[in-house]
């Protein structure tokens, strides 16, 4: 049964969603249909299509009582909006349907598992969240909230585990047909932990154990876990709040942490070994992954930072976009990310300039635009001293530009959007230390989709993402070098 609240949301999005013209939103990155978007939710492949749901407040371009928006795609790049899937219309989720995930039930229906939020008055007169895990089951478009909700209550948790911070279930099915779920929580030490739950049928759930403990190492609360095997290892992704920087890692206050280790399936025990940031740019949080029918593990994150949400699209019709879908792999204990290969089919108008010598600045009349895929290979000029800095300015005109620059001596790659059109005194730049490059050799792939840039470094060893709300008339690309370098550039427009 569709509630009045959900019908209102659907009516609102029908009336206002179509007012957003094509140029006012990204072309192949999913953005809020209308109003506000945050985390990806319920990312799955169901009955021949990818489904992406998202944290959604359709009525204003800012966070509000959370609904779930919905879109479907056959290649994760061309999205079609579907009507909003959930509204906070029940007593147990009246303050929000927070993040969650999806899994198919044995009878073929799609089950959404999400966090229901209800604020409760405390003894001291303040209000505090009570967060529980709930289900909605349906045909992929319409979902009925399960009459037995919530299916995981905070009473089901051991003593001392938080009732207020217990959210973002990730659910998966084992080969034996039973289900598991991982959710974020806080133990008594106030930091974060990921809890594991089990279910014979996806409907009735039981607490199993602590899957991973923060022990105050990486921020405080751990949000939005994802947990999967990859290339013979096990990966836990989670997005810590309030994280302190460590060297060049974890600079975003709220960012995404990747723990790589091994999983003992018998005892369901995760042994972590390596840790790293997932994105070294400004905007990336709360990713989810999907397993494609041909076995690729693909991740999409919310391309936004909670600390810089005042940096907005000027028209105010939508706020919030997802990252590119990224194919993941693990090599030598590190997470690698590559733009999903389906993007190659969108390439056109190839332009190639090889062995270009550069001292000072230059541009090419055939390289410009705001929907671009550019591969750039940089090396020092022969018999010259190692260059100081190589820069690529894009989304540029006389007034605006955003820059990616590399200093080989320090091995530091920097993204700077100070002049992208922002009128806010917020963080606009991020620096990342590369694993290699002190010899001045660097490979970059830059992808622009009107209002964002994603930089894949050295075949995806690192990625830097940032949103840019620069007017689309700023579409020049300028290369610059302090010192002497040689580079190749291959550019494609993206259809
Ligand atoms: C992460 C998050 C989640 C929560 C949701 C609320 O960005 O805070 O933990 O479920 O957003 O919108």
Q: What is the pLDDT of residues 452-467, one digit of tens each?
A: 999 999 999 999 999 9
Looking at the DSSP assignment, which residues form a beta bridge with residue 285?
302
Q: Whose CA is nearest to atom 9 of ligand 1?
A: 223
CA of 34 to the centre of ligand 1 (A): 19
pLDDT class of 402 with cuts at 50, 70, 90: very high
Q: Whose CA is nearest to atom 8 of ligand 1?
A: 223
In degrees, to the nearest 5, what angle opens at C-alpha 115 toward C-alphas 84 and 138? 45
Instruction: Calculate what percentage of the chain has a pLDDT beyond 70.
Output: 100
Mutate to test the pocket of ligand 1, among 63, 167, 285 (most ligand atoms within 8 A of CB): 167
Q: Which residues of 49-84 are buried (b: 16+ CB within 10 A; e: fewer)?
A: ebbbbbbbbbbebebebbbbbbbbbeebbebebbbb
Q: Which residues of 303-340 are buried (b: 16+ CB within 10 A; e: fewer)?
A: bbbbebbebbbeeebbbbbbbbbbbbebeeeebbbbbb
Show me where the domains of the chain are located.
4-339, 346-494
Asked if 170 and 182 touch (Cβ cutoff 8 Å), the reply is yes
In order of 69, 99, 203, 281, the CA distances from 144 in angstroms are 15, 17, 13, 39
In order of 186, 193, 293, the CA distances from 222 in angstroms are 8, 6, 29
Tell me the C-alpha distance between 325 and 458, whole Å.
18
pLDDT single digits (tens) 219-233:
999 999 999 999 999
Please give the average per-residue pLDDT across 139-162, as a whole number: 96
Ligand 1 pocket, Cβ-based, cut-off 6 angstroms: 38-39, 55, 66, 98-99, 115, 167-168, 223-224, 285-286
Q: In the structure encoding, which two tokens stand for residue 367, read together?
A: 């390289």
- The reported pLDDT for the residue numbered 315 is 84
Which CATH architecture group holds 346-494?
Answer: Sandwich (2.60)
Helix (H) or strand (E) holding 17: helix 4-17
Nearby residues of 77 by Cβ (< 8 Å), 6 or more positions away? 28, 325, 340, 342, 343, 346
The answer, yes or no, to whether the previous bond of 434 is cis (omega within 30 of 0) is no
Q: Where are the beta strands (DSSP E) in 21-109?
A: 35-46, 49-57, 67-73, 79-86, 97-104
Of 241, 327, 347, 231, nearest to 285 by C-alpha is: 241
- The reported pLDDT for the residue numbered 441 is 98
Asked if the model's pLDDT at residue 212 lies above 90, the reply is: yes
Q: In the structure encoding, which two tokens stand for residue 240, read together?
A: 């810590």
pLDDT class of 358 with cuts at 50, 70, 90: very high
pLDDT class of 182 with cuts at 50, 70, 90: very high
CA of 136 to the centre of ligand 1 (A): 18
Of 264, 151, 266, 138, nearest to 199 by C-alpha is: 151
Please give the average per-residue pLDDT across 84-103, as a whole number: 98
Please give the average per-residue pLDDT across 37-53, as a whole number: 98
Mutate to test the pocket of ligand 1, among 119, 194, 286, 305 (most ligand atoms within 8 A of CB): 286
pLDDT single digits (tens) 373-395:
999 999 999 998 999 999 999 99
Annotated catalytic residue within 8, 39, 242, 366: 39
* Residue 366 Rama label (left phi>0; alpha psi -120 to 50; beta): alpha
Task: Please provide the distance, in angstroms rounded to a whole number, between the alpha carbons at the two ends of the chain.
Answer: 40
CA of 319 to the centre of ligand 1 (A): 16
pLDDT class of 154 with cuts at 50, 70, 90: confident
DSSP conformation class of 411: T
Chain centre distance of CA 225: 12
- Ligand 1 atom with minimal separation from the 98 CA: 10
Asked if the model's pLDDT at residue 312 lies above 90, the reply is: no
Q: Which one has a higher pLDDT value, 313 or 241? A: 241
Asked if 134 and 45 touch (Cβ cutoff 8 Å), the reply is no
- The reported pLDDT for the residue numbered 310 is 86
Fold (CATH) for 4-339: Tachylectin-2; Chain A (2.115.10)
- The reported pLDDT for the residue numbered 262 is 98
Asked if the model's pLDDT at residue 314 lies above 90, the reply is: no
CA of 26 to the centre of ligand 1 (A): 23
Helix and strand counts by DSSP (H, E) for the chain: 1, 31
Tell me the C-alpha distance between 223 and 195, whole Å.
11
pTM above 0.85, yes or no: yes
Asked if the model's pLDDT at residue 413 lies above 90, the reply is: yes
- The reported pLDDT for the residue numbered 313 is 83
Tell me the C-alpha distance between 209 and 488, whole Å.
52
pLDDT single digits (tens) 97-120:
999 999 999 999 999 999 999 999
Asked if the model's pLDDT at residue 333 lies above 90, the reply is: yes
Q: In the structure encoding, which two tokens stand for residue 171, read together?
A: 């659910």
pLDDT class of 56 with cuts at 50, 70, 90: very high
pLDDT single digits (tens) 248-269:
999 999 999 999 999 999 999 9
Asked if 119 and 147 touch (Cβ cutoff 8 Å), the reply is no
- Provide the mean pLDDT of the chain: 97
Asked if 457 and 446 touch (Cβ cutoff 8 Å), the reply is no
Helix (H) or strand (E) holding 290: strand 285-291
- Residue 475 designated active-site: no
């Amino acid at each position: 049964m569709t509630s009045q609240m959900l019908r209102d949301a659907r009516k609102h999005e029908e009336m206002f969603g179509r007012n957003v013209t094509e140029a006012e939103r990204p072309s192949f990155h999913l953005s809020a249909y209308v109003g506000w978007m945050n985390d990806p939710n319920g990312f799955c492949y169901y009955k021949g299509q990818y489904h992406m749901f998202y944290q959604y407040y359709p009525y204003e371009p800012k966070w509000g009582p959370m609904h779930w928006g919905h879109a479907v795609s056959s290649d994760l790049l061309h999205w079609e909006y579907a009507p909003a899937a959930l509204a906070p219309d029940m007593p147990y989720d009246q303050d929000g349907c927070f993040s969650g995930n999806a899994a198919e039930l044995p009878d073929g229906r799609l089950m959404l598992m999400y966090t229901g939020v209800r604020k409760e008055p405390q003894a001291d007169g303040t209000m505090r969240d009570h967060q529980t895990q709930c289900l909605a089951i349906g045909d992929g478009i319409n979902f009925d909230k399960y009459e037995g909700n919530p299916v995981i209550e905070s009473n089901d948790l051991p003593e001392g585990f938080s009732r207020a911070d217990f959210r973002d279930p990730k659910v998966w099915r084992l080969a034996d047909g039973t289900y598991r779920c991982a959710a974020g929580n806080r133990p008594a030490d106030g930091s974060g932990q990921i809890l594991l739950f089990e279910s014979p049928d996806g409907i009735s759930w039981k607490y199993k154990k602590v899957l991973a403990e923060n022990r105050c190492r990486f921020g405080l609360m751990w949000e939005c876990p994802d947990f999967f095997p990859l290339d013979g290892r096990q990966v836990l992704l989670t997005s810590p709040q309030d994280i302190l920087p460590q060297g060049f890692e974890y600079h975003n206050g709220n960012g995404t942490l990747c723990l790589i280790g091994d999983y003992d399936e018998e005892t369901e025990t995760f042994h972590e070994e390596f840790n790293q940031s997932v994105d070294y740019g400004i905007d990336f949080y709360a990713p989810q992954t999907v397993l494609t029918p041909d076995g690729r593990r693909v991740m999409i994150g919310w391309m936004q930072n909670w600390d810089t949400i005042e940096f907005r699209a000027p028209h105010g019709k939508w706020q919030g976009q997802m990252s590119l879908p990224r194919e993941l792999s693990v090599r030598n204990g590190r997470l690698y990310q590559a733009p999903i290969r389906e993007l190659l089919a969108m390439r056109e108008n190839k332009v190639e300039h090889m062995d270009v010598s550069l001292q000072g600045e230059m541009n090419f009349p055939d390289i410009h635009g705001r929907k671009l895929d550019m591969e750039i290979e940089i090396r020092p000029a022969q018999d010259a001293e190692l260059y100081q800095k190589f820069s690529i300015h894009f989304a540029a005109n006389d007034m605006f530009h955003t820059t990616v620059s590399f200093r080989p001596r320090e091995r530091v790659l920097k993204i700077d959007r100070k002049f992208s059109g922002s009128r806010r005194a917020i963080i606009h730049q991020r620096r990342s230390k590369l694993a290699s490059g002190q010899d001045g050799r660097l490979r970059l792939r830059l992808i622009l989709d009107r209002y964002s840039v994603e930089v894949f470094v050295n075949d995806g060893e690192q990625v830097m993402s940032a949103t840019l709300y620069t007017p689309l008339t700023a579409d020049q690309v300028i290369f610059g070098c302090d010192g002497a370098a040689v580079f190749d550039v291959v550019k494609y427009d993206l259809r």
